[in-house]
Amino acid sequence: MKACLEFEDILRINRPEISKLREIGDSFESVDQDGACEAFGQQVQLLEGAVIQCYKIAAVVARKKGGDLSEVAEVWEQMSQFCQLALEELRSLKNKYPHCGTAQLYDRVLDYKLAADKRLQAVQEEIECEKRSAIPNGLFPDPS
Amino acid sequence: MREEVGDPERLVSRSELEELADLFDRFEFALDPLSAKAREAESEFENKVRQLFSSRIAPKYPDLGLSVFRCGVRTWCRRFLQKSSRQ
């Protein structure tokens, strides 16, 4: 039997990178403490890698889902939520750690969230079109 | 049976749709959605969809909007890419 990972599993594996950012951020009273920016910046890089990697997997999974539009929508929605969680942590920490790569990562994650949202919105429109049978029969050939 | 390129029965030929599917693949499923290549492919896709719509679809289906036509093309591309990657 083949064991298959769902996209949700991939996100679950990567979610601790978000909570670790908070843990490391809270473990220092100030960014001026020895090693604070270094430790925080290192976690910023790990979280950036996690977001980029999850996005790549989302794109591959969405492609494999093909015409199953509701499943495609679910993938992009999960990706968007993952980015949102990261953004919320970054937003609350970027004042405390303004020069440790925080602002750059915030912008990057926001870009990835917008990319996921755009794909989610487009596939939701496709679902609506299908529900309304809006495309005339025979306009397109069979895709097979 | 697959129709050939230029099939007079089709407003949009299979080869045109396959070309759109290639562009769609390059932006919708780009591993880096922020890359210039992805943005260029999306822009080209959009231009081609608009051109097809205004030159051939709108005259024959005046009640069909561009957004609905775009939806149909996108869904066709998804299914085509899924099926062609299985072969």
Q: Which of residues 28-87 of B touch A (CB under 8 A)?
A: 28-34, 57, 61, 64, 67-69, 71-76, 78-83, 85
Task: Give the model's confidence band at B3: pLDDT under 50 very low, under 70 low, under 90 confident, else very high.
Answer: very low
Interface contact flag, B76 A72, Cβ < 8 Å: no
Q: What is the pLDDT of residue B87?
A: 58
Query: Is the Cα dihedral B44, A116, B81, B2 positive or negative?
Result: negative
pTM of the model: 0.92
Segments of chain A with pLDDT less than 70: none
Q: What is the pLDDT of residue A3?
A: 82
Say which CATH architecture domain A35-131 belongs to: Up-down Bundle (1.20)
Nearest CA distance, A24 vs chain B (angstrom): 28
- Res B86 pLDDT > 70: no
Nearest residue of chain A to residue B1 (CA atoms): A142
Q: What is the pLDDT of residue B58?
A: 93
Nearest CA distance, B41 vs chain A (angstrom): 15
Q: Write the DSSP string, chain B.
A: -PPPTT-TT-SS-HHHHHHHHHHHHHHHT-SSTTSHHHHHHHHHHHHHHHHHIIIIIHHH-TTS-HHHHHHHHHHHHHHHHHHHHH-
Report the mean per-residue pLDDT for chain B. 89
Cβ pair A53, B70 in contact under 8 A: no
User: Which of B2 and B78 is assigned the larger pLDDT?
Assistant: B78
